[in-house]
């Protein structure tokens, strides 16, 4: 085996290792994007109820699970649960869903594909990125690359809070994440955690929050 082939194999192995780390990094924490608009009052004895955006979800077991998580987060902010909607001062509307499967493309440079060249008898690598994963990252394929595809899903959570007496909007939030699963039970609780991280947030701001696996460190802003 020539020197050029050996060096190319090493470079390719390193790139494959970087890609594997990128995939495992996504597995170790859910990366979310959270947008919030808010005019929330300071907690002063206000009470709330949690209702679904979709009326047909009312009373459902799945919605009840997510509603309980949202209610606990609201209580942690200093608001109280109301015994009924008639006694509530705020109404918290919750909606969630998952999109159709999408395709992720990953490229691994081949031994002598685009991106490699030779100068003075020694191979060199041009240094282009070989892996694509995340929100709005560019992807550039190359000639004779090895291409793999993955399926991913986008899950969204909407939380709107309105003042009951006049229906004035106090909070409008949307959290979304890409993941390899379409199981809402695995992603919605993490999206709720992201929504209430730094709640109510700066109005009009969109931030990225990484939610670690259960039992790990607390959620943090940024990736």
Phi and psi dihedrals of 55, rounded to 5?
Answer: -55, -25
Confidence at residue 110, expressed as pLDDT on a 0 to 100 scale: 57
pLDDT tens per residue, range 200-212: 999 999 999 998 8
The proportion of the chain whose per-residue pLDDT surpasses 90, expressed as a percent, equals: 56
Where does the pLDDT of residue 113 fall: very low under 50, low under 70, confident under 90, or very high at 90 and above? Answer: very low
Where does the pLDDT of residue 12 fall: very low under 50, low under 70, confident under 90, or very high at 90 and above? Answer: very low
pLDDT tens per residue, range 62-88: 999 999 999 999 999 999 999 999 999
> Which range, 16-30, 75-89, 144-158, has the best average confidence (pLDDT)?
75-89
Q: Using alpha carbons, select from 29, 38, 73 the residue that is nearest to residue 208.
A: 29
What span, in angstroms and rounded, lies between the C-alpha atoms of 179 and 30? 7
Look over the chain and give the mean of its residue pLDDT values, rounded to a whole number.
76
Q: At residue 122, does pLDDT exceed 70?
A: no
Length of the chain in residues, anyone? 223
What span, in angstroms and rounded, lies between the C-alpha atoms of 192 and 70? 7
What span, in angstroms and rounded, lies between the C-alpha atoms of 146 and 117? 17
Cis bond leading into 108, ω under 30°?
no
Q: At residue 102, does pLDDT exceed 80?
A: yes
Q: What is the mean pLDDT of residues 184-197?
A: 95
DSSP class per residue in 41-98: PPPSS-EEEEEESSGGGTT-HHHHHHHHHHHHHHHHTT-EE-SSGGG-SEEEEEEEEE
pTM for the whole thing?
A: 0.69
């Amino acid at each position: 085996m020539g020197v050029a082939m050996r060096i190319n194999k090493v470079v390719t192995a390193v790139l494959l290792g970087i890609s594997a780390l990128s995939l495992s990094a996504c597995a170790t924490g859910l990366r979310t994007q959270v947008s919030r608009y808010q005019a929330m009052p300071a907690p002063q004895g206000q009470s709330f109820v949690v209702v679904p955006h979709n009326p047909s979800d009312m009373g459902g077991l799945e919605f009840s699970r997510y509603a309980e998580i949202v209610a606990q987060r609201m209580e942690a902010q200093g608001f109280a649960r109301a015994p009924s909607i008639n006694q509530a001062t705020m109404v918290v509307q919750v909606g969630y869903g998952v999109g159709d499967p999408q395709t992720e493309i990953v490229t691994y440079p081949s031994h002598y594909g685009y991106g490699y060249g030779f100068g003075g008898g020694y191979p060199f690598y041009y240094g282009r990125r070989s892996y694509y994963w995340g929100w709005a990252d560019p992807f550039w394929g190359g000639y004779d690359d090895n291409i793999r595809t993955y399926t991913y899903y986008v899950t969204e959570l909407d939380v709107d809070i309105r003042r009951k007496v006049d229906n004035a909007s106090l909070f409008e939030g949307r959290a979304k994440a890409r993941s390899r699963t379409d199981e809402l039970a695995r992603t919605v609780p993490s999206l709720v955690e992201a929504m209430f991280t730094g709640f109510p947030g700066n109005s009009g701001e969109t931030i990225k929050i990484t939610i670690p696996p259960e039992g790990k460190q607390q959620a943090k802003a940024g990736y």
